């Protein structure tokens, strides 16, 4: 059964959803599945952009056969080689022996690595400035190295202004028939999942995203067709603005993420006291999260959103509580910058968190460790240090 939709005259969406998947990349929890997007251009020449994950291959091949309606497939455009999109390249190469594969030099190498297939003269290697005419449609290629793999390219279709953006501008979440951004509610919970996707998958590569945004700025982008999530056919500038902010590591809002680890509730009590003290001072954007029960990808998303972070944790094996260490190291690995950070440690006999967290934060770019630090011995009995920390954070938010 054909399950496609037109995104413009003669360009069709033939993506597929996986709603059973629990972990994207076997790493990031999904609560509403994910879509793998592919697009078909029906012109004098036929072309399909990317494929889908192996778990949803059947619908892709059925849709493709129906869209081709007996015609040959002339081109496969490979924007990205990660197997959630590239899984079916080997099968397509075999099924359509006259099909040419349009990709970067690195993608051509990866096709050999993944499928053992040497494309030879079936490969059309493209780089910046190259284009491919399909008849009425013409694709212009834009390289996007390290957004978020080295072989990535995007393509911009001249007659429609569609930017096929690879993983960029993607989002977690399956699509339920409504494939366009203006058909779904783009509210805070939607942005929260889009930010979680960006920060965790692409976040490390802000410099490279900035480079691609500059290239895209020279194009008349009317629609964005990513590899995951909805097709953006309206308010395109809103998403581009978010990408600009996120990739410059600038917070979206002045607000505080209080991330705490607590084994018996004593560090949690301090984190709670700080949240209350901040609220007393009129701070309205406070997110208090227990790192032991919050997936680190969610913590990263909140760290990307807010200007200030509080780390509150006990010592464990002479280091930070391991769940907190995971969060702090993840921020470092993802290159997060430009945040104000306050630290609360709890150590009954060997406090270590202020020292250990500071070492990591000082090795990151533009992470400001705020002056007020709190060292608890087992349990907090005096609210004065909490009040001082709240004063400092409230003042910092006003700067
Ligand atoms: Fe959606 Fe990098 O693959």
Name residues contacting ligand 1 (CB within 6 A).
80, 82, 84-85, 148, 167, 227-228
- From the CA of 76, how far away is ligand 1's center (Å)? 17
- From the CA of 228, how far away is ligand 1's center (Å)? 8
* Spatial distance between the Cα atoms of 339 and 134, rounded to a whole number of angstroms: 47
Q: Which residue's alpha carbon is nearest to atom 2 within ligand 1? A: 82
- From the CA of 282, how far away is ligand 1's center (Å)? 41
- From the CA of 82, how far away is ligand 1's center (Å)? 5
pLDDT digits 0-9 by tens, 279-338: 999 999 999 999 999 999 999 999 999 999 999 999 999 999 999 999 999 999 999 999
- How much is the pTM? 0.96
Atom of ligand 1 nearest to the CA of 148: 2
Per-residue pLDDT at 208 exceeds 90: yes
pLDDT of residue 1: 83
Per-residue pLDDT at 2 exceeds 90: no
- From the CA of 376, how far away is ligand 1's center (Å)? 43
pLDDT of residue 399: 87
Q: Which residue's alpha carbon is nearest to atom 3 within ligand 1? A: 82
- From the CA of 327, how far away is ligand 1's center (Å)? 23
* Spatial distance between the Cα atoms of 104 and 119, rounded to a whole number of angstroms: 13
Atom of ligand 1 nearest to the CA of 201: 2
Closest CA to 388 of 250, 251, 274, 255: 274
pLDDT digits 0-9 by tens, 336-393: 999 999 999 999 999 999 999 999 999 999 999 999 999 999 999 999 999 999 999 9
111 near 82, Cβ under 8 Å? Answer: no
Give the pLDDT band (50/70/90) at residue 99: very high
The CATH H-level superfamily of 253-398 is Flavodoxin domain (3.40.50.360)
pLDDT digits 0-9 by tens, 32-59: 999 999 999 999 999 999 999 999 999 9
pLDDT of residue 183: 98
> In the beta sheet, which residues pair with residue 47?
41, 75
pLDDT digits 0-9 by tens, 243-279: 999 999 999 999 999 999 999 999 999 999 999 999 9
| Strand 34-36 to 39-42 pairing | unpaired
pLDDT digits 0-9 by tens, 130-149: 999 999 999 999 999 999 99
* Spatial distance between the Cα atoms of 266 and 348, rounded to a whole number of angstroms: 11
**What DSSP letter does each residue of 26-58 carry, written as one string?**
TTEE-SS-EEE--EEEESSSEEEE----GGGHH
Closest CA to 202 of 274, 140, 145, 131: 145
Residues carrying CATH 3.40.50.360, the chain: 253-398
Sheet holding 11-13, edge to edge: 5-8, 11-13, 39-42, 46-49, 75-77, 100-103, 123-125
43 near 75, Cβ under 8 Å? Answer: no
Longest CA span, the chain? 77
- From the CA of 280, how far away is ligand 1's center (Å)? 43
Residues carrying CATH 3.60.15.10, the chain: 5-247
Atom of ligand 1 nearest to the CA of 227: 1
| Strand 46-49 to 75-77 pairing | parallel
Atom of ligand 1 nearest to the CA of 170: 1
Atom of ligand 1 nearest to the CA of 149: 2
- From the CA of 191, how far away is ligand 1's center (Å)? 18
- From the CA of 220, how far away is ligand 1's center (Å)? 25
Q: Mean pLDDT over all residues of the chain?
A: 97
CATH class of 5-247: alpha beta
């Amino acid at each position: 059964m054909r399950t496609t939709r037109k995104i413009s005259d003669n360009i069709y969406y033939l993506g597929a959803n996986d709603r059973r998947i629990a972990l994207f990349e076997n790493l990031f929890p999904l609560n509403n599945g994910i879509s793998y997007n592919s697009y078909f251009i029906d012109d004098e020449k036929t072309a399909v952009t990317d494929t889908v994950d192996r778990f949803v291959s059947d619908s892709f091949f059925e849709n493709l056969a129906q869209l081709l309606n007996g015609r040959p497939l002339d081109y496969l455009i490979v924007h990205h080689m990660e197997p959630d999109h590239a899984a079916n390249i080997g099968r397509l190469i075999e099924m359509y022996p006259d099909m040419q594969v349009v990709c970067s030099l690195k993608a051509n190498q990866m096709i050999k690595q993944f499928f053992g297939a040497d494309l030879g003269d079936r490969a059309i290697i493209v780089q910046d400035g190259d284009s491919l005419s399909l008849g009425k449609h013409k694709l212009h290629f834009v390289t996007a190295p390290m957004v978020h793999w080295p072989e990535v390219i995007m393509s911009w279709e001249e007659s429609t202004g569609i930017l096929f953006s690879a993983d960029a501008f993607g989002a977690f979440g399956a699509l339920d028939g409504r494939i366009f951004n203006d058909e779904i509610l783009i509210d805070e919970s939607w942005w929260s999942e889009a930010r979680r996707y960006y920060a965790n998958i692409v976040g490390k590569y802000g410099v490279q995203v900035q480079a691609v945004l500059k290239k895209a700025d020279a194009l008349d982008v009317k629609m964005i067709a990513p590899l995951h999530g909805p097709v953006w056919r309206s308010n395109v500038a809103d998403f581009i603005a978010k990408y600009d902010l996120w990739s410059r590591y600038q917070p979206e809002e002045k607000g505080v993420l209080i991330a705490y680890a607590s084994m018996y509730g004593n560090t949690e009590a301090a984190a709670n006291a700080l949240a209350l003290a901040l609220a007393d001072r009129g701070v309205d954007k406070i997110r208090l999260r227990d790192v032991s029960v919050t997936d680190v990808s969610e913590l990263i998303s909140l760290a990307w959103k807010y200007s200030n972070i509080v780390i509150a944790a006990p010592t464990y094996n002479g280091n930070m509580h391991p769940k907190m260490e995971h969060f702090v190291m993840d921020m470092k690995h993802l290159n997060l910058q430009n945040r104000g950070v306050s630290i609360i440690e709890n150590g009954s006999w060997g406090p270590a968190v202020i020292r250990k967290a500071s070492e990591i934060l000082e090795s990151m770019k533009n992470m400001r460790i705020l002056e007020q630090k709190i060292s608890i011995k087992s349990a907090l009995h005096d609210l004065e240090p909490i009040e001082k920390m709240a004063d400092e954070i409230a003042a910092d938010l006003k700067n």
